Structure 1
Amino acid sequence: MKVDSALLDSEISFEEIYERHSHSKEDSASVPIDFRRMLWLESAQEPKDYVATKKEAMELTQEALSFYLQNKVELRQSKVSKTVEEVKKIIHQLTSVISLKDIRFQPISKSDFYNDNIKVLAPNQFLITVPLKGLVGYKKQQNRRWRYYSLSGSPQVSPVRDPEDLYQWLEVNQFLKSLQQWHEMDVIIEGDIIPAKVLQVFRNLVDISIKTCSLTSKANLLDSYGSTVRLEVETSVCQVEVELVPVVEIFNQWCDKARWPRCLKRWPSREKTECIKSIGFSLMACSSFHWQLNFSQAEYILMEGIDEDGGCRKTCFQVLRQMKEDVWCPGNKPIITSQHLKMVLFWTCEKYPHAKDWKIFTVSFLRLVRKLHKCVSQHFLKHYFVNGHNMFQYVSINDLDAIAQKLTLFLENPVFCWT
């Protein structure tokens, strides 16, 4: 039995279409499953005849999955790719002018290849790191010392608080070679390179350069909330909010605070782990005093070859991200971003390292959703590389509870939801 195409094109709901055909004399099993709401097997409640049910679920899932990937995930990817290309050209032009004015800031590449400086948090929310130049030969800090100063450089009676797990101090003498400009008072206090001061210099350069390179119709500098530099960028697809973050790249070293990999873990492989640790990490200027650890290159390597064993991890992640953006946490500034979902994926991959754990999409996908639900419900999501840091630490508990409720409803009756 086939559904009348005229019905599909009409204003009638898909539930009503299904209701009409479900009363047909023909076997209801012949009703096509490519409706906008697809039923899924809840793997947590496995029936006795599990083998037969798994086979049926796989058949249904493959057809439903193909429909969803084509009509939602691939469409989203196409739009995001186009947006990224347009934003990349604008930011490249802007940072090229900035670099001419201040050699400490490098321009963003406009290469067609993958650029790990650009992180898509949501379709209209990007984080772009701007590499800093002239700091070479990083060495670890040997001695702990207290800081008694404000951002203006005035002395204080009590010390500035110590960095949290995902942050650290950065001293100019931690580098074997450094440009003279990094010893200027516009960015340092008592030998410390201060993120807030670097951001202040950078923000002024961004403001001037937008006018210098005639980008006022495409990019607008937004009011600052704390230590951030945010732009509103116009593209042919949508309006995007871009946060520009200066970053110090540390090559060929691994961070002491990242106690990774953990002992006796089988994911990722030893070869991939060694590759990741040899590449290094970076430090982002996105707070007042402390530099934030960043592992974007490590995350890229993990994602790039995540299904070398023929699993469905990346597909699960793509569908999870799509459902998050459409249903569980929509909006221009979602409190849960793709970055949070990557952490959920990595932790789940580590717990389930074998290829057999990622063969059946339905089971694998619902496992990811349950992990996300647990983290959101407990208001606690450990950073994958620095597991002492809670990525939900500064997120509203009420907002998290609202998302947890949506995830609960989904797990009670797993369906594809279209907006």
Structure 2
Amino acid sequence: MESLTEEAMKSYLMNKVGPRQRLLSKIVEEVQEIIHKLTKEISYRDIRFQPISKSGYHNENIKVLAPAQFVITVPIKGLLGYKKSQSRRWRYYSMSGSKLFSPIRDPEKMYQWLEINQFLKTLQQWHENDVTMDGDIMPAKVIEVFLKLVEDSVKACNLSNEVSILENFGSLIRLIVETSEFQVEIELIPIIEVLNRWSDKAKWPRCFSRWPSREKIQCVKSLGFNLMARSSYHWQLGFDRAEYMLMEGIDDDGGCRKICYQVLRQMKEDVWCPGNKPVITSQHLQTILFWTCEKYPHSKDWRVFRKAFLRLVRKLYKCVNQHFLKHFFIKETNMFQYSSKNELDAVAQKLILFLKNPVLQQD
């Protein structure tokens, strides 16, 4: 174990972060191959779903939450020209289509309703009853259709030895994919990509914010957002492209933000929160980085690794200890809302020990 010197950091990057990157690159490539084959068959059976392309380690549809935990988004076709709903109305239907006496609750901050008439151009298939209810496109119905396609396509592609479908948990589709190294659990999410339009719910950038630059903000917002089928009635907002763009060129000023993030992620995976389904994921760490960049926007704040890294660890500890991490784009949302408090507390204790004796664990 070594203290947070520049030499220790470089050694850690070479001996720990580098091998992880190479391993994950191999795993992602294997998973991509399987998911490409699977989604190609799905798209052949139902043109409403696009196949996942094979595009190397940085595939915008694949998010690595942990080495054995991926999220893969499957873009939906045939819904173009998204526009905001002009009116608010109450819904009185159940998932089965029966009439309710009281209206369905309004969506939370990270969710929204989605009506078929919010799109200027639509495939006729999106008007069918298998995915709509009373003019709404229902994520639960989309998931039901998609799950059946996944099941049939696994058989059709002879992927039963590589892919296992886990028991459906709520409105989630989860797979186990066998790789040459270990099993990877994957959540498959059908998404609608809304391009060249920013979500009205995302009040970003914030007033007086000096990070990122105006040019980067315009670029990020032009990438739009996603609507993800992850619940029964409401579509969840996602900002994968925006987050990826924020990470791109994050150290163009010569800072060490990305290195700090990589070391933070490695320490999280090896020491603070290991395991196949950790309570803290790379998504949380990336959010920690974004908030810290916003608070410390100047180049001089990211010159010295030790100082910058400990700043990130302290921010992580504060959020984990309080069981509260604001989403970067929709700050009213707590990303730890449904996380195990006991697991978060266990991570907080490890972070305290590290902050008392900050050394990088090389073994």
State the TM-score, normalized to the length of structure 2. 0.98
Question: Are 1:326 and 1:418, in contact at CA under 8 Å, matched by a contact in 2?
Answer: no
User: How far off its partner does 1:148 sit?
Assistant: 1.0
The RMSD of aligned alpha carbons is 0.9
Indicate yes or no: 2:195 matched with 1:251: yes
Shift of 1:238: 1.6
Deviations 1:40-86 (A, max 9, x none): 4xxxxxxxxxxxxxxxxxxxx11111111111100001000110011
Give the corresponding residue for 1:78.
22
Q: Using the alignment, how far apart are the partners of 2:72 and 2:123 within structure 1?
A: 24
Q: Residue in 1 aligned with 2:75?
A: 131
* Matching residue's letter, 2:229: A
1:299 maps to 2:243:
yes
Tell me, in whole angstroms, the C-alpha distance in 2 between the residues paired with 1:197 and 1:392: 27
**Letter in structure 2 aligned against 1:268:** P
Deviating more after overlay: 111-120 vs 154-163:
111-120
Aligned match for 2:114, one of 170, 177, 200: 170
Which residue in the other structure is 1:410 paired with?
A: 354
- Within 5 Å, give how 1:319-358 maps onto structure 2: 319-358=263-302
Shift of 1:111: 2.3
Pairing 1:115–2:59 present: yes
Contact 1:82–1:237 (CA<8 Å) still a contact in 2?
no
**Identity of paired residues, percent?**
67
- Which of 378, 382, 388 is the matching residue for 2:322? 378
Distance across 1 between alignment mates of 2:362 and 2:68: 19
> Bigger CA drift: 340-349 or 400-409?
400-409
Report the equivalent of 1:268. Answer: 212
Structure 2 residue aligned with 1:181? 125
Q: Distance in 1 between the 2:353 and 2:102 partners?
A: 49
* Aligned match of 1:38: 2
Letter in 2 for 1:380: F
- Residue by residue, what CA displacement relative to the aligned partner does 1:285-305 show, whole Å, maximum 9, x if unpaired? 011111111111111111111
**Structure 2 residue 306 is matched with structure 1 residue 362:** yes
Residue 118 of structure 2 is aligned to residue 154 of structure 1 = no
Inter-partner Cα distance in structure 2 for 1:294 and 1:85? 24
C-alpha distance in 1 between matches for 2:260 and 2:213: 20
**Which residue number in structure 1 is paired with residue 135 of structure 2?**
191
Write the distance in 2 (CA, Å) between the matches of 1:389 and 1:198. 25
Q: 1:200 aligns with which of 144, 148, 156?
A: 144
SS at the partner of 1:176?
strand
CA deviation vs aligned residue, 1:172-198 (integer Å, no higher than 9, x gap): 110011111111111111011111110
Query: By how many angstroms is 1:39 displaced?
Result: 2.5
Q: Find the partner of 2:344 among 386, 397, 400.
A: 400
Structure 1 regions of 5+ residues with no counterpart? 1-36, 41-60
**Offset, 1:269:** 0.2
Q: In the aligned structure 2, how far is the partner of 1:298 from the partner of 1:74?
A: 26
Counterpart of 1:32 in structure 2 is none
- Deviation of 1:114 after TM superposition, in Å, equals 2.9
> Could you report, residue by residue, the CA deviation over 1:313-339 in whole angstroms, capped at 9, with x for unpaired residues?
000000000011111111100111000
**Counterpart-to-counterpart distance in 2, 1:327 and 1:148:** 49
The equivalent of 2:36 in structure 1 is 92
Q: Radius of gyration: which is bigger? A: 1
Structure 1 stretches of at least 4 aligned residues deviating more than 6 Å after TM superposition? none
Cα distance in 1 between the residues matched to 2:24 and 2:95: 38
Q: How many residues align?
A: 363
Query: Secondary structure in 1 aligned to 2:360?
Result: coil
* SS of residue matched to 1:272: helix
Amino acid in structure 2 at the alignment position of 1:84: V
Matched, 1:283 2:208: no
- For residues 342-392 of structure 1, the C-alpha deviation after alignment (integer angstroms, 9 at most, x for no partner) is 100000000000000000000000000000000011111000001110000
The AA in structure 2 aligned to 1:67 is S
The 2-side partners of 1:395 and 1:64 are apart by 33
The letter for the 2-side match of 1:95 is T
Deviation string, structure 1 residues 155-175 (Cα, Å, up to 9, x no partner): 111111111111111111100
TM-score, length-normalised on structure 1? 0.85
Aligned equivalent of 1:26: none
Are the aligned partners of 1:281 and 1:295 in contact in 2 as well (CA < 8 Å)? yes
Query: Aligned to 2:359, what secondary structure does the other structure show?
Result: coil
Among candidates 235, 250, 273, match of residue 179 of structure 2 = 235
Deviation at 1:113, TM superposition (A): 6.8
**Deviation digits for residues 74-126 of structure 1, max 9, x if unmatched?**
00010001100110110000000000111101000112373211000000100
Three-state SS of the structure 2 residue aligned to 1:347 is helix
Equivalent position SS for 1:341 = helix
C-alpha spacing 1:70/1:113, structure 2 compared with 1 (3 Å): closer
